Amino acid sequence: MEVKEVKMKSFEKKDIGLKEFLEDNLCFKSKSFISLNPFYGCSVGCAYCYRLSHKGLFNVFKRPERFATDEETIELLKSKKELIESDYPISLHDSSTDPFLPETIECTINLVRLIKKADINKKIVIISKVPIEEEVIKKLLPFKEDLIIMYGFSNLPTKFESPNKDLKKETLKNFNKYKFTVFIHFRPIIPPFNDSLESLEEVFSLVESYATGVIIGGIQFSKNVRKNIENRNINLSLSESDQKYLSEEILEKIKLIRNKNYFKKPVLFHNSCAVTYAMRLKKNYTGITKCDCIKNIGEKNG
């Protein structure tokens, strides 16, 4: 596998080189998934992008760049027997880019096809936040039963992220039209930018109309995320100690909304809880037990 040479600083967390990082990132077990990432880089430019904690890479890879073929990626997955035999689902591009950018779409569809062709009997999670054309959604139709889509709709102002809200609503409508399993990623919730009752109601209405459920969460901070947000002249009331923080006030507002008769879909805190819910599993496959959304899952499964 050829990895292009890039001058970079060492990473914030792992003091390893670029080549090792990209190789490690190609197929690995993350907190919730077996993550496949033959690309690295993204043009969307979210202010809070998790890739900012990969110090040096964020600014270098401003567009998706491929560093392994689809076949190499699947061969590596097949060689990792312990991953294949685990209960974890597969996720595409979740640690590197968005799966539905012009550069990554064909790869995303091809990886799904190759996974199925290899008889790997696992759910495939695809996490995205960009508008997706109906024609692309239709290409995924033959694999619908194997897919769990997590679609970002944070309702944050454009200084945080750019994708067009109306087009994203259209994407949700189309996924619903073809009856895909879709969870809305309502995160990060960053007060006071997207936590008003109106904002919550807007997102929960979309959940109710077009999705299987919603996954909520606060912002995942790192020094670079904070710096990047401040560079956009955004004043944050949260700090690094508020990792993924959701205030009681926000949770109360969500309860208030859910108590209205027309909001019935599950509110989940973890991606793995959404997979557990979608697959009607009795227990979360990652071993999480102390989680409020487990109660939701238990109720659903009776």
**Residue 193 and residue 157 in contact, taking contact as beta carbons nearer than 8 Å:** yes
In the complex, least distance from residue 152 CB atom to ligand SF4, rounded to whole angstroms: 7
Residue nearer to ligand SF4 on the CB measure, 62 or 260: 62
**Residue 271 and residue 32 in contact, taking contact as beta carbons nearer than 8 Å:** yes
Region 129-148 residues binding ligand SF4, contact defined as CB under 6 A: 129
In the complex, least distance from residue 225 CB atom to ligand SF4, rounded to whole angstroms: 10
In the complex, least distance from residue 97 CB atom to ligand SF4, rounded to whole angstroms: 5
Residue nearer to ligand SF4 on the CB measure, 51 or 265: 51
Sign, CA torsion 161/166/171/175 = positive
Strands in 170-246 per DSSP E: 182-186, 213-216
Position 97 contacts ligand SF4 (CB under 6 A) = yes
Q: How far apart are CA 144 and CA 129, in angstroms?
A: 19
Instruction: Determine the interface stretch with ligand SF4 among 40-48, 110-118, 233-241, 280-288 (rule: CB under 6 A).
Output: 40-48
Position 60 contacts ligand SF4 (CB under 6 A) = no
Return the residue matching tokens 């889509």: 149
Residue nearer to ligand SF4 on the CB measure, 39 or 180: 39
Tell me which of 49, 105, 114, 279 binds ligand SF4, using CB under 6 A. 49
Position 51 contacts ligand SF4 (CB under 6 A) = yes
Tell me which of 27, 34, 42, 132 binds ligand SF4, using CB under 6 A. 42
- Residue 199: count other Cβ atoms within 10 Å of its Cβ: 18
Q: How far apart are CA 296 and CA 264, in angstroms?
A: 11
> Which are the contacts of 244, defined by CB distance < 8 A and separation ≥ 6?
188, 217, 218, 219, 220
Question: What residues make contact with ligand SF4 under the rule CB under 6 A?
Answer: 42, 44-46, 49, 51, 97-98, 129
